[in-house]
A and B are shown apart, each in its own frame.
Chain A
Amino acid sequence: AQSVTQLDSQVPVFEEAPVELRCNYSSSVSVYLFWYVQYPNQGLQLLLKYLSGSTLVKGINGFEAEFNKSQTSFHLRKPSVHISDTAEYFCAVSDGGLTGGGNKLTFGTGTQLKVEL
């Protein structure tokens, strides 16, 4: 079984400051990792994904994440946030079908990023 932990339910930050949203996962097999963003009253949109290769993944809107296998983490970062980044962010993990249950996603409980002036 897989699980995802997003320890921070809310992260307030001032505009133009850097931000890191934390994500830790557990899995018995190799994983694929994803970050999704949900803007108010909208569905989920993919920010970035790690499938294989380079552990530093760059996504849309200036976000990036680093896959750290030894620490089972996939933290999301942005060097300078904007008001428009205010949204809820979800980390998710997939086993790629390796455990026989298909490649379902397991989501964390989300982190609400609030960017203030």
Chain B
Amino acid sequence: DADVTQTPRNRITKTGKRIMLECSQTKGHDRMYWYRQDPGLGLRLIYYSFDVKDINKGEISDGYSVSRQAQAKFSLSLESAIPNQTALYFCATSDSRGEQFFGPGTRLTVL
């Protein structure tokens, strides 16, 4: 079984809809991250969490929110989706030295 799983893997939605992307991990790491990937821009950090009570904004947090339900679960929400949030979204976990382990990604399309 994969160490980091993401659901759904693909999602098409309409402008204005609320969307939740879910991430679960079995690596036992405290640190979890959400990124978005856009062609030519690499990965940009949306939010990160170093433990259940710790949530931090990344470089592009506007329009997104997160919830850390447990050590193993970290969800990303788009409260009112817009077309420029169409992207590939990755969840990751890390150990104390920063090596990150990535999920398979969620491809989100906002029409």
Contacts and interface: CB of A to CB of B under 8 A. Distances in A.
B41 interface: yes
B90 A103 contact: no
Contacts, number: 63
A44 B42 CA distance: 11
Given A42-B105, A51-B97, A90-B43, 15 more contacts: A32-B97, A42-B104, A43-B4, A43-B104, A44-B43, A46-B100, A90-B42, A97-B98, A102-B31, A103-B96, A104-B45, A105-B45, A107-B43, A108-B42, A109-B42
Interface of B: 4, 31, 33, 40-45, 48, 50, 56, 58, 90, 92, 94, 96-105
B99 A49 contact: yes
B98 A9 contact: no
B106 to A, nearest CB: 10
A25 to B, nearest CB: 13
Interface of A: 9, 32, 34, 36, 42-46, 49, 51, 90, 94, 96-97, 102-105, 107-110
